[in-house]
Amino acid sequence: MVVLVSPGLDEARLELGKALEARMMVTMVANCTVSYSGRTGSDIGEGERLIVLKGDGCVLVHRGRDYQPVNWQPSGCVFQTRIEGGRLLVKAVRPSPLETLTIEMDRIEFLSTFNLKDEAEFILHSSEEEMQKAILAEPDLIEQGLRVIDFEKKVAPGFVDVYGVDSQGNTVVIEIKKDPAGAAAVKQLVEYLKYLSPAEGKKVRPIIVAPSLAKGVLPTMEKMKIEFKPLTLQKSLETLQKRMKSDQKALKGWLGDAPSEKS
């Protein structure tokens, strides 16, 4: 770890180069201008900003406010540094699509480099995927007798979340949303319908599964005969939890209560 307060440009460039070489993270606070050129272009004049360069080749330039960086570059960039006209220039070039971020610093308040030890796994509890898992594990969440045939099924250009048949032999097409389902969700489902046919003498039943419906969509849904089945993340998680417990119990039974091996 290196911490420099108000380093000279040469000193800063030296540490910066060493750190980038070693794939370390660098944070700087500097008075700078930033310009971007690529898919579009941008410019911002002089100001003090926090600059973060990571070992995987991404860049963040943050102002004193706002969640979003004012300029950035995603992972995979090649860095160059050089001193020119009394300024420290840092270029981050992304090869594809070709994009260039250029930071020109004339006064560096502060520079530090770190090697962050972090092997932890990130666990996100629940999203659409959890709802899908719950439906696959327990189709009765939607309705009794539903059998799931496929999921993430490819139709024309897109993917049906869950695809199955109901107890009457009708085709069931489910679009899952974790947030209140709006017009976009309905449109998506309607689009899929064009490419799906029911069995002989049967119907296709499009169903939106979501915690609730946005306000304007009811008329369209009625017109298109789309059904709505409320399901929350909460409920999905509970279902999966229960399922896991009963699976464990079943496993115990199979193994005669012996503790299972660890992988």
Partner DNA sequence: GCCTAGGTCCCGTCT
Partner DNA sequence: AGACGGGGCCTAGGC
| Helix (H/G/I), strand (E/B), else coil: 82 | strand
Length of the chain: 263
Identify what 184 binds: DNA, its own copies, none; CB under 5 to 8 Å per kind: DNA
Cβ closer to DNA: 9 or 189?
Answer: 189
Of 7, 8, 29, 26, nearest to 16 by C-alpha is 26
Of 224, 231, 113, nearest to 161 by C-alpha is 231
Residue 158's DSSP bridge partners are 155
8 A C-beta contact, residue 211 and residue 180? yes
Q: How far is the CB of 200 from DNA (least distance, A)?
A: 27
Taking CB under 8 A as the rule, does residue 47 contact its own copies?
A: yes
Identify what 180 binds: its own copies, DNA, none; CB under 5 to 8 Å per kind: DNA
Cβ closer to its own copies: 77 or 162?
Answer: 77
Q: Kindly give the interhelix angle for 233-254 and 128-137, rounded to the nearest 10 degrees.
A: 50
8 A C-beta contact, residue 243 and residue 138? yes
Cβ closer to its own copies: 70 or 196?
Answer: 70
| Helix (H/G/I), strand (E/B), else coil: 185 | helix
Taking CB under 8 A as the rule, does residue 157 contact its own copies?
A: yes
Identify what 119 binds: its own copies, DNA, none; CB under 5 to 8 Å per kind: its own copies
Interface pick for DNA out of 89, 170, 182, 202 (rule CB under 7 A): 182
Taking CB under 8 A as the rule, does residue 64 contact its own copies?
A: yes
Cβ closer to its own copies: 2 or 136?
Answer: 2
Taking CB under 8 A as the rule, does residue 178 contact its own copies?
A: yes
d(CA 123, CA 162): 24
| Helix (H/G/I), strand (E/B), else coil: 217 | helix
Q: Alpha carbon of 150 to those of 57, 66, 73, 136, 193: distances in Å?
A: 39, 43, 38, 9, 16
User: Could you list the residues that contact DNA (CB under 7 A)?
Assistant: 36, 38-40, 42, 58, 66-68, 71-75, 94, 96-97, 99, 101, 124, 126-129, 154, 157-159, 161, 176, 178-180, 182-184, 188, 214-217
User: Could you list the residues that contact its own copies (CB under 8 A)?
Assistant: 1, 3, 5, 25, 27, 29, 33, 40-50, 52, 54-56, 58, 60, 62-67, 70, 72-75, 109-110, 112, 114-127, 157, 178, 183, 216, 233
